[in-house]
Each structure stands twice: as C-alpha cells, then as structure tokens.
Amino acid sequence: MAANPKVMTKRILSQTGHLSEVRDFISAAAGEFGFSEEDIANISLAVDEACTNIIKHAYQNAPDKEIVISVIRSKGNFEVRIVDYGKKFDPTEILPPDLRQNMAHHRRGGLGVYLMKRLMDKVEYSFQPGKHNEVRLVKYLQKSPSVARR
C-alpha cells in the first residue's frame, strides 16, 4: 500500500452545499491518521464550522469564491489549514457566546467559533492584507483527549 501523502488539498466554491464534501474529505484523512470515531467527528465538525464562517463572514454568502482546505499530517500532528480570499474574519477574537443573552435577543452568533476552540487543540488565524486569510486547526493524535463534558 502506498504511503499516505503528507499534504492533501481540497478546493471548494463558497457554497454551503459543499460542506458535506468537506466533512467527508476531513473524516477520511483523520480516519487514516488513526483518530477515534469521536475525534474524527469532532475534527470534521470544527472544519465545517470554519468553512461556514468563511462563507458567511469572509465571503458574505457570495457563492463563487474559493476556499482551499489542506490537511498536513506529521508525526502525531493533524493540522487543517483553511484559506480564503475574502474579508478579514478572525475567529480567535470572537468571545464565547452567552446562551441566555443569545436566546433573549434571537441571536445565534459565536457558537461555531466556540465549538472550534473546544473541539480542537489549537486554533490560529493569520491575515495577509490583499492576499488571504488562513485558519489553522490542530489536533494532536497522542493527547487526543475526549472533549471534556461539562
């Protein structure tokens, strides 16, 4: 059997209809890497959330923009880099949601970013004006703890 490539890339258009393809792509890569079913589901959800935010905020629902998702697998380290060319949207600056306030005011923002941070070991963001935005999501295979329940 051929060795797994260290980098795998998928490109999609900025449409929510492509999210299921992204989840399938990430699930396959995470499964090959040796993660548990629970971790595979968590990583896949985190990447879904990151892509959803890009579609809604960076591209503001424009359907014809590009999102590039790369998986970089090194020893015990599963990294997903998600690049877009839209407006700046830094998930690391988003505060945790206040559910009661959200409910009272019919708001629903902040949930996805909070999930990303809970589900992954590391969430980073970089913005290069005029070039691209990049979200980096990292999960460690060795630590790989189940997400702590409240």
Partner 1 sequence: MADFKIHHREGEGVYIIDLKGYLDAHTAPDLETAFQKLLTEKKYRIIVNCRDLTYISSAGLGVFMAYIEDVRKNKGDIKLSNMSAKVFNVFDLLGFPLLYEIYTEEKEAMTKFKTVKAS
The site for partner 1 (CB under 8 A) is made up of 15-17, 19-20, 23, 38, 41, 45, 48-49, 52, 55-56, 97, 99-100, 102-104, 106-108, 111-112, 114-115, 118-119, 147, 149-150
Cβ distance to partner 1 smaller for residue 25 or 73: 25
CB neighbours of 133 closer than 8 A, spacing ≥ 6? 54, 58, 83, 84, 85, 86, 88, 89, 125, 126, 127
Q: To the nearest whole angstrom, how small is the minimum distance from the Cβ of residue 99 to partner 1?
A: 5
What is d(CA 59, CA 149) in angstroms, rounded to the nearest whole number? 33
Q: To the nearest whole angstrom, how small is the minimum distance from the Cβ of residue 74 to partner 1?
A: 27
Q: To the nearest whole angstrom, how small is the minimum distance from the Cβ of residue 111 to partner 1?
A: 4
Cβ distance to partner 1 smaller for residue 52 or 126: 52
The sheet carrying 7-13 orders its strands as: 7-13, 66-74, 77-84, 132-140, 122-128
